[in-house]
Amino acid sequence: MEALHVDDNDEDDAHFQADLARAIAASKANESPATSIATLSSDSEKGIDLGSTPPPAVTTHSSSTFLAERAQLERARLARLKRLRGDSDLDGTGKPPKRRTPSRSTSSSPGSYGDPNGKGKEKVDQEAEIFWDGELRQTANMHAEPGRNGEDGTPVFRLSEIIGDKSQIELAIISTYALQLSWIYKFFAPSTPVILVTQPAPSENGNTTIKEALPNWIRVTPFLRGGRGVMHMKFFLLFYRTGRLRVVVSTANLMDHDWRDIENTVWVQDVPRRPLPISHEPRADDFPSTLERVLYAVNVAPAITSLVSTGHPDIPLSALRAGALRTRWDFSRVRPTLVPSIAGKHEGWPAVLKSGHMALMHAVSRLNPQQRAVSLECQGSSIGAYSAAWLTEFLLSARGASPEASLNAPKSRRAATPMPVSDALKILFPTRDWVRSSVLGEAGGGTIFCRKSTWEAAKFPRNLFCESRSRRGRVLMHSKMIIATFVGTASPTGKDPDSDADSDVVEVRKDQCDTAGYAYVGSHNFTPSAWGTLSGSAFTPVLNVTNYELGIVFPLKDEVDANRVVCYERPPRQYGSRDRPWMQEESEVLNME
């Protein structure tokens, strides 16, 4: 079932056709053997998430041919879908974006407008709202209840506001799983160089690729072993003419449906350019060094080289080499920790700590040095197959505890691991009745996945499930969020209290705790494919990860802080005896021929 697409208004369509015409003319004028790469349209990809296979991309032989065909397809799509709903704006929210007063910062410690250091060396961004200390918001949604779409003073993000003045962007690196190319193309100037990271087409069999998608657009895909797994990261790097870099980590695909009809979560942080580069630190383990590693993993490096050699020698990131981001841009005010999953087999401690739930463990260990136990609420849009061993493995990482003791345990003990209790873990997923009662009904549930065979498996932990309901009314959520609360026990030795080793568990006073918990936001659904599966030994651990994912972890001071950032109703209601999760297989609407 293809995700619901809603027509753009006639004015937007006219703008798009004009942009296409200009791009075709530019392509014909500048075409050369160096840039005559096969082009790709992914506009036909479905708005689907984990557990699904994207439809095949359409490959043509020249940019002009592709763009002409794209224009024809776009006109046909608009005519076909015009009857579904009234016109909508470019953001896909159904409401025009509000005019905002330029803001210095969302922080209580403001810096000079356009310059966090107050030295006036960076040009002022006249119309931009700047987030020098980062900002987490839900996306605008045309179906949110009155007063819950920013009207009550709680701000939301629209994509046009995140991108800002497109004429000021010198380079954009954007990443998505599902893609509506004609829609996202409108948010950037035709002359802006854009690197698009996305899911390999089935014909590419999971191999790395680099192709021209549009004039000035390079499309790349990372390697997927045997074609399995998905490139599921959603992020932006936007380089502005003022020198500012905007980092965006999102849960939304680059499709109008994701930014209008379903709810997503977005984190935005602005980073100033340094007056002079600093020296490179090869052993750095921080946000920019992790981000550079992610860019290498998803095949951005050759795309930068291609842009530089084909007409864009002056882009702000002209080469992706070690330290390129952290030496030129000042990330000192970035507080969250970046947590990636890199698809592949990772062996040995240095490697496993950089990916999946072991990267989460590494981040949480800094927030929870006392090794307090943890209570988790894991909310997402896709459900995996859960074993007791994997859930216990994840809970260990989620408290920041080393898995050495469990890796050294005999296999018989691992096999006998009991399922966690609901006090330790709650899995949030919408029920069938909630989806049916939502604004779009079953037709809106095309990006939410749970297989019937998974749910009905004999040992599946159905007792851990709670209903996922948006705080903004009967809208469906595509957000992925973990709210972790530390509880009052800790091990002063730093060992796992559940292991055979001596632990001497002690009570930790509230004033001894650095934080009350943490939040995770990003592309990871709560699945083994997203977070990885640990094996091997304590001496040589092995982490197998199926997907490429990206998210952030940041501390929570208290319950008030948790309730401020969370996207769903708390406390979540546990499934009743008659509740079933939403399953597309049981939908008459989505299975209509």
Active site residues: 232, 478
Check whether 480 is labelled as a binding-site residue: yes
> Cα separation of 513 and 459, whole Å?
36
The closest alpha carbon to 480, from 432, 540, 551, 528, belongs to 551
- How far apart, in Å, are the Cα atoms of 127 and each of 132, 153, 241? 15, 20, 14
Are the C-beta atoms of residues 515 and 486 closer than 8 Å to each other? yes
CB 281 within 8 A of CB 190: no
Which tokens sit at 30? Answer: 């500048």
186 is in an annotated binding site: no
How many Cβ atoms from other residues are within 10 Å of residue 278's Cβ? 11
Taking the C-alpha atoms of residue 447 and residue 234, their distance in angstroms, rounded to an integer, is 15
Residue 455 has a CB neighbour count (10 Å cut-off) of 17
- Among residues 565, 205, 515, which one has the least CA distance to residue 364? 515
| Rounded distance between C-alpha atoms, residue 154 and residue 109, angstroms | 20
Q: How would you classify the pairing of strands 217-221 and 194-197?
A: parallel
Measured CA to CA, the distance from residue 127 to residue 168 in angstroms comes to 11
The DSSP annotation for 453-496 comes to HHHTSTT--GGGEEE--BTTSS--B---EEEEEE-SEE-TT-S-
Of 532, 198, 549, the closest CA to residue 345 belongs to 532
- Measuring CA to CA, which residue among 145, 95, 102, 93 is closest to residue 252? 93
Give the CA-trace dihedral at 467, 468, 469, 470, to 10 degrees: 170
Q: Which amino acid is at 305?
A: T
CA distances from 401 to 334, 355, 369 (A): 24, 15, 9
In the chain, what's the furthest Cα-to-Cα distance? 74
Reported residue count of the chain is 593
d(CA 37, CA 26): 15
- The whole-angstrom separation of Cα 183 and Cα 253 is 12
Rounded CA-CA distance 351/349 in Å is 5
Q: How far apart are CA 291 and CA 284, in angstroms?
A: 12
Q: What is the rounded distance in angstroms from the CA atom of residue 135 to the CA atom of residue 104? A: 13
Say if residue 32 is exposed, middle or buried (CB neighbours under 10 Å; 0-12, 13-18, 19+).
exposed
Question: Distance between CA 50 and CA 36 in Å, rounded?
Answer: 33
Per the annotation, binding residues are 234, 480
- The annotated binding site for substrate is made up of 234, 480
